[in-house]
Amino acid sequence: MSEITTEDRQWKFISEMQGDIKVVFTRLDTIENNHLSHMQDDIHKLDHKLWMILMVVFAQLFAVIGGLGIYWIAV
């Protein structure tokens, strides 16, 4: 019977860790180069929608204030 020495176990552990690290780097590269650009596009679209909603809210607010002003002047 051949026993596995401590040094052999350490080298096996190191080689397994290197494989895991390569997988992590591959996943990080995918996230950085693909997913982040899509997320940036989605955030940009949401930013435009938010500004449109705010413009509509302010337009309605000014319309109400203008209507009240005309009502007070007429009364």
pTM for this prediction: 0.53
pLDDT at 2: 62
List Cα–Cα distances, 71 to 60, 63, 65, 68, 75, in angstroms.
16, 12, 10, 5, 6
Distance CA 2, CA 69 (A): 96
Per-residue model confidence as pLDDT tens for the chain (75 residues) = 467 788 888 888 888 899 889 999 999 888 888 888 888 899 999 999 999 999 999 999 999 999 998 888 887
